[in-house]
Structure 1
């Protein structure tokens, strides 16, 4: 019990100090998390020939960005990842850069990190595995999948195809639900382990 209490105190101290870090230190963490996301974007579990959207590990980093860095800096890490990828850093999935079929999901990464970071920081009650899982799953559906599907629909039309909502969901949502549930469960478990069970903002 004493060891658990010490671990809990350590987590509390780390998150308290996170709030007091200097701006250069926070920027370094942002760059590090953006780079981690780019690295995990290269981890492909499989290639599905019927969809231009790949299966990767980067959403695991996205779900933990806000939890680890807080709302603004977690969102900033995802914004840096997206922004540098757009202007030419080849760290999107497959080592590519620029706009493509997955741009909507990338915008969703920023939104998801912002919302998850805000709720996790502000509401201690959210830091249980079931609640973190629910929060992350909801963020994935509303903040990642919806922008992703909208952009994919527009992109397919731009390249000369005639998509329907059903076909876009079949390409951009359905194949990834099982894998995302596993990644969400893993991210929720990690979030529970690393976050303290008391308020560190006050």
Structure 2
């Protein structure tokens, strides 16, 4: 396959996804929710915090890239709602309302917000699909839109457990240990954008 054929195929596939029927997009959203559930099982527990390292963030960011703001966001809503309802596909094969109300509930909300933001930029600004601009976009989604609700939810959880924490301790529990892994995920998702998404 020569470079022109690659660019043409990449654009054709992207346009097919964008122009798919509502039923097809709903199915793709469900499939991406499943992908998020699978990636959530890549888990590294940390002894000093109830928040583990997982792969679900990478999946949520990719959902926005491929499905856009509406259906990328829907995929994460499905992931969260079905995980609460009856599918144990949160980190460590867990599920139920108690997980959502636990230490990681805020991060789950952040996944929904972040997928919408990435999808919005990916849809509206084709030139933002290059590596550098998308890395910046995904970086904002990851470090702002996921961590703000995530840390707020963790702080609330710790407070309700009777062990409130200060800002420094909160950051050490819910932010600092994840920075290196998140940078890798951001660069990985930006690479996905560079390779698979058209730039015009």
Contact 1:153–1:163, Cα closer than 8 Å, also in 2: yes
The Cα shift of 1:88 comes to 2.9
RMSD (Å), alpha carbons: 1.1
Write the mapping of 1:134-173 to structure 2, written as runs, cut at 5 A. Answer: 134-173=136-175
Contact 1:66–1:116, Cα closer than 8 Å, also in 2: yes
Report runs of 4+ in structure 1 exceeding 6 Å deviation. Answer: none
Contact 1:38–1:58, Cα closer than 8 Å, also in 2: yes
The Cα shift of 1:110 comes to 0.6
Name the SS for the 1:48 alignment partner. coil
Residues 105-153 of structure 1 deviation map (CA, whole Å, 9 limit, x = unaligned): 1001011110101101111221111111111011111100110000000
Select the residue among 85, 88, 91 that pairs with 2:86: 88
Q: TM-score, normalised by structure 2?
A: 0.95
The Cα shift of 1:197 comes to 1.4
2:106 maps to 104
Write the mapping of 1:32-51 to structure 2, written as runs, cut at 5 A. Answer: 32-44=31-43, 46-51=44-49
1:57 maps to 55
Distance 1:119 1:134 in 2: 11
Q: TM-score, normalised by structure 1?
A: 0.94
Name the SS for the 1:162 alignment partner. coil
Structure 1: give runs of 5+ residues left out of the alignment. none
2:192 maps to 190
Distance 2:86 2:153 in 1: 20
Contact 1:104–1:151, Cα closer than 8 Å, also in 2: yes
Q: How many residues align?
A: 196
Name the SS for the 1:154 alignment partner. helix
The Cα shift of 1:38 comes to 0.3
The Cα shift of 1:14 comes to 1.2
The Cα shift of 1:22 comes to 1.2
